[in-house]
């Protein structure tokens, strides 16, 4: 177990100090005029609790670090969190995406009904953020490695 922890820490450290990929040439029409769009590789979107056993196929979790204040819906988050997407909650009509504090998965910091977006299959877990004029970020979508669907934050008009 300790070997897995040290391996995960080493991967996280390597990715932390490596340059992030740009969102080369792709901009969202709604965001192009007001802010820069950046795709953030979530270095720490690592599988969680692998020693407990695999998560049910309907639930996916990943760890994320928000280095700057980041709007997730009506909540501002900064630091280490867990994004969880649950298909069973979605089938019951409940918010399918929950964002928990990394060290407390009892009560979500944010929860929302995601919008499924078709994307190319992701080689790694990613989160797409837009940078707002005040320098804060806003989560627009996230995608788990190996999936061809992304989970977007619903747009409010």
Give me the number of domains the chain comprises.
1
Tell me, yes or no, whether 50 lies in a domain: yes
What digits encode the pLDDT tens for the residues 121-153? 999 999 999 999 999 999 999 999 999 999 999
Give backbone dihedrals phi and psi of 67, rounded to 5 degrees, phi first: -75, -30
Q: How far apart are CA 144 and CA 89, in angstroms?
A: 18
Q: How far apart are CA 31 and CA 46, in angstroms?
A: 29
Q: What is the pLDDT, as a whole number, of residue 155?
A: 80
What digits encode the pLDDT tens for the residues 2-12? 445 445 554 44
Give backbone dihedrals phi and psi of 2, rounded to 5 degrees, phi first: -65, -30
Q: What is the pLDDT, as a whole number, of residue 8?
A: 54
Tell me, yes or no, whether 141 lies in a domain: yes
Tell me, yes or no, whether 157 lies in a domain: no
Is residue 63 within 8 A of residue 12, CB to CB? The reply is no
SS3 147: coil
Tell me, yes or no, whether 92 lies in a domain: yes
Low-confidence ranges of the chain (pLDDT < 50): 1-3, 5-6, 10-56, 157
| Domain enclosing residue 32, as ranges | 2-152
């Amino acid at each position: 177990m300790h070997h897995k922890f040290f391996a995960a820490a080493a991967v996280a450290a390597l990715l932390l100090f490596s340059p992030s990929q740009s969102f080369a040439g792709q901009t969202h029409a709604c965001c192009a005029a007001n802010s820069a769009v950046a795709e953030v590789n979530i270095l720490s979107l690592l599988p969680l609790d692998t020693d407990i056993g695999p998560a049910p196929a309907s639930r996916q979790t990943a760890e994320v670090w928000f280095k700057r204040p980041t709007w997730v819906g009506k909540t501002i988050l900064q630091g280490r969190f867990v994004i969880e997407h649950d298909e069973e909650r979605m089938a019951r009509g409940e918010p399918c995406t929950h964002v928990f504090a990394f060290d407390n998965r009892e009560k979500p910091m944010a929860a929302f009904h995601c919008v499924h977006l078709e994307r190319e299959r992701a080689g790694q877990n990613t989160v797409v953020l837009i940078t707002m004029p005040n320098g804060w970020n806003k989560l627009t979508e996230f995608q788990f490695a190996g999936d061809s669907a992304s989970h977007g934050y619903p747009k409010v008009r």
